[in-house]
A = this chain, B = another copy of it.
Amino acid sequence: MTKDNLSTCHNRIKPFIHNTPVLSSRLVNNLVGADVYFKCENFQKAGAYKMRGATNAIMQLTDDQKSKGVVTHSSGNFAQALSLAAKSQNVKATIVMPSNSPSVKKNAVAEYGGHIIECEPTIKARQAAADHIVNETGATFIHPSNDPEVILGQGTACMELLKEHPDLDAIFCPVGGGGLIAGSALAAFYFGNYCEVLGGEPLEADDAYRSLISGKIETNTTTNTIADGLRTQLGHHNFPIIQKHVKQIIRVSENEIIEAMRFIWERMKIIIEPSSAVTFAAVLKEKEQFKDKKIGVIISGGNVDVNNLPF
């Protein structure tokens, strides 16, 4: 994927996404000992950066493909993003969701115009249900993270951040399926000025950390983390990009995630989801490494069930 691919992608999706604000806080800067710039994708449409990749993937389809719709399986932010992105492109979106998904998530998908198909809550059943729809309707399956067009789309958040702050020394992203960090790593490589990319990952779902050590894709042994967006598995499109361009992955505990989340809520007065708190927790853990430097943090999303908070 080239610099030009990223620029073209950004121009393509720009009319359909928000150029989200970049916030900073003196209190945070004092705590970290560095200048920290938060790219607030919690203010993105549908509440997360996923809107970028979903929009790009749909816009790259042929008219014939578009007429047959798109399908994905997700119970998280990608389900909502694909539903809304499809609506804005006049394309039908079918979302396979496990039958035990919280009703708040099903309602959000339905509200954005997604057509929900329920399945048994297993990975196998999810894939089977999606395959069935593809075979029946000719719809195109779009993976939430392991797809080159999705990766490019996710990279545009980092491009925008670097446009505002071209001299960042490092950018921190959360790592789940790897779409955001892979896209960000490409963006930092092409548009940054020797800007490093680092990932934050829950100790309880540390497949990317272990994959970088072993040199092959490792699977999660547990996914027992509050960071629901990061329970997914690294993909084969993302891993080589991460291997090549990501400097380090920092693992954080559940307590560190919750404390980081509380700090951002209480002090910056913005709502971030646990997966975004993972990133800030990683910054706090590695702050000595970045003393007096300028660092960016991608706040990936703000979709939280306010009736079910960890504090």
Q: Which of A91-99, A123-131, A215-223, A261-269 contacts B (4 or more CB under 8 A)?
A: A261-269
Q: Is A32 in contact with chain B by the CB < 8 A criterion? A: no
Interface size class of A (residues with CB under 8 A): 10 to 19
Scan residues 255-311 of chain A and give those whose CB is less than 8 A from a CB of chain B. Answer: 262, 265-266, 268-272, 302, 306-307, 309, 311
Least CB distance, A150 to chain B, in whole angstroms: 23
Complex contacts, A311 vs chain B, CB 8 Å: 306-307
Residue of B nearest to A310 (CB): B306
Which residues in B have their C-beta under 8 angstroms from that of A270?
269-271
At the interface, yes or no: A240 with Cβ under 8 Å from chain B? no
Given A21-B21, A269-B43, decide whether A306 and B309 contact each other with a Cβ distance below 8 A: yes
The 8 Å CB contact of A42, one of B42, B269, B302, is B269
A47 at the interface (CB under 8 A from B): yes
Kindly report how many copies of this chain are found in the complex they form together. 2
The CA-CA distance from A271 to B263 in the complex, in Å, is: 12
User: In the assembly, what is the distance between CA of A268 and CA of B307, in Å?
Assistant: 17
Selected contact of A269 from candidates B262, B271, B307, B309, CB within 8 Å = B271
The proximity string for A residues 42-54 relative to B, scoring 1 for CB distances below 8 Å and 0 otherwise, is: 1100010000000
Query: Which residues of chain B are near A306, meaning CB under 8 Å?
Result: 262, 265-266, 309, 311
Interface centre among A21, A266, A272 (most CB of B within 10 A): A266
| A269 with B302: CB separation less than 8 A | yes
- 1/0 per residue, CB under 8 A from B, across A20-46: the answer is 010000000000000000000011000
Q: Are A269 and B21 in contact (CB under 8 A)?
A: no
What are 13 A-to-B residue pairs whose CB atoms are below 8 Å? A21-B21, A42-B269, A43-B268, A265-B271, A265-B306, A266-B306, A269-B271, A269-B302, A270-B270, A270-B271, A271-B271, A306-B311, A309-B309
